[in-house]
Amino acid sequence: MSFRLVTSHKAQIFQVTTDHLIVADAEACKNEILANKSTFSLVMLDLSKVKIVDSEALNTLAEIGRVFSKDKSGRIMVIGDELVIKAIRDKGLADVLPCYTGVVPVPSEENKSKTLSEMNPEFFFKVTLPAIKENLKIYAKMDADFGKPTVCLQKDRPMADIAGVGGFFCNNRKGSLMLCFKEESYVKIVSSIVKKKHLQLEPKISDWSAELVNSILGRVKSDLRTLGYTFNAGIPAVFVGKDLEVFYSKKLATKLDIVKCTGEFGEFYVELMLTDIEG
């Protein structure tokens, strides 16, 4: 098989170097990954050079994802161009083959700092939204869909009754991730997590908003550090109040990046404030 194998800490990266992925190559890739999966917490399959993927080859790759999904021994990420990712999604395999657009950066020393110099909202959401989806599925046994990221003024953000907030630093940027819930959607999610029905927001269940943020940022940290980013997160906090209003420092931009999340629980919003460390 034509692929380049790179290992870094607890990650194993398979970079396929051919432009046509056939079943035989996919089978060889599957055997190699599954034979060594217990050694690594994250396996990245880089298909960014692949332009054509046979349907059966995708089914073979999906077998890898199903093994990881079943035994929880680690995670797999697929990196590819839009055509490859579309093929994965069209076959309904995105749940077992979580995919991202781009190229896995394996920079040399001379261009490492330039390659990974900055974090931006678009890339942050590409890493974070799959983490939110996975955590809701693991904790609450609920699926979630996301709208497109939008920008709004702080004063125009959607109303919330409870929010979990986690601050972080990533390379030369700092930010805050906030999950903003109305009471009805929040109690549905928490009721499913604790397997006990709650009808209203109570102090004893409010910590779950911070716990969700903490577990999400934990996965984001693992994924970004594997890709070469420096990422550190603080201890999340919980804000509670009817039609809650949270405002950032006046020194920061008044605009926020938000994404609507919907599911059987109703809806909530993912909010990102990102700025330079010097800001």
Give mean pLDDT, residues 10-18.
72
C-alpha distances out from residue 87 to 91, 98, 120, 160, 161, Å: 6, 13, 27, 37, 40
Task: Tell me how far apart the alpha carbons of residues 84 and 78 are, in angstroms, rounded to a whole number.
Answer: 10
Q: For residues 105 and 243, which has the higher predicted lDDT (pLDDT)?
A: 243
pTM exceeding the 0.85 threshold for the entire prediction = no
Residues 178/138, Cβ–Cβ less than 8 Å: no
Residue 73: which region, alpha, beta or left (left: phi > 0; alpha: psi -120 to 50)?
A: alpha
Mean pLDDT of the chain: 81
If you average pLDDT over residues 199-222, what whole number do you get?
Answer: 90
Confidence bin at 7 (pLDDT 50/70/90): very low
Q: Which domains does the chain have, with CATH numbers?
A: 3-106 (3.30.750.24), 121-276 (3.40.1550.10)
**C-beta neighbour count of 175 within 10 angstroms:** 19
User: What DSSP line would sit under 16-48, residue for residue?
Assistant: E-SSEE-HHHHHHHHHHHHHHGGG-SEEEEEET
Banded model confidence at residue 248, pLDDT cuts 50, 70, 90:
low
Q: Nearest to residue 272, comparing CAs of 134, 160, 187, 149? A: 149
Q: Where is pLDDT greater, at 240 or 79?
A: 240
Tell me the percentage of the chain whose pLDDT exceeds 70: 82
